């Protein structure tokens, strides 16, 4: 008996998945400018896994989605006023 191949098309994303065109992705230099850091620093963070910078591997290339970098920056935000309670850090930590 012959094996039947799946009728699913190659290269077509499932309905409801997030599709980003390769042209919408940033390279190292563009992502570094977006984050306002040096290209070398970004390369170090990605290669070492330090800070968990979100990236996409496209073959041998590494690319960055601007929206993912923005969310990553928000997640890393520290200090200032609490975004969740509407109170300042001083009010939260005072006895």
Q: Is residue 45 part of a domain?
A: yes
Confidence band of 9 (pLDDT split at 50, 70, 90): very low
Instruction: Let me know if residue 47 belongs to a domain.
Output: yes
Domain that holds residue 62: 24-76
pTM over 0.85: no
**Residue 13 structure tokens:** 């994303």
Full DSSP string of the chain: -PPPPP-PPTT-PPTT-----GGGSB-HHHHHHHHTS-HHHHHHHHHHTGGG---EEETTEEEB-HHHHHHHHHHH--SSB-TTTS-BHHHHH--
Domain count for the chain = 1
Please give the pLDDT value at position 78: 86
Most confident of the following: 18-32, 45-59, 67-81: 45-59
pLDDT at 71 over 60: yes
Tell me what pLDDT residue 23 has.
Answer: 80
Q: How far apart are CA 9 and CA 45, in angstroms?
A: 36
Tokens linked to 45: 């963070």
Mean pLDDT of 34-56: 96
In a domain, 42, yes or no: yes
CATH number of the domain residue 36 falls in: 1.10.10.10
Q: Domain for residue 85, yes or no?
A: no
Question: 18 in a domain, yes or no?
Answer: no
């Amino acid at each position: 008996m012959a094996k039947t191949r799946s009728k699913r098309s190659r290269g077509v994303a499932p309905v409801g998945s997030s599709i980003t065109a390769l042209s919408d992705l940033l390279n190292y230099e563009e992502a570094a400018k977006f984050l306002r850091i040096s290209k070398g620093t970004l390369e170090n963070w990605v290669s070492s896994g330090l800070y968990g910078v979100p990236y996409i591997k496209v073959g041998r290339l590494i690319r960055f989605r601007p929206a993912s970098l923005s969310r990553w920056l928000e997640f890393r935000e520290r200090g200032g006023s609490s975004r969740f309670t509407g109170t300042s850090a001083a009010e939260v930590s005072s006895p």
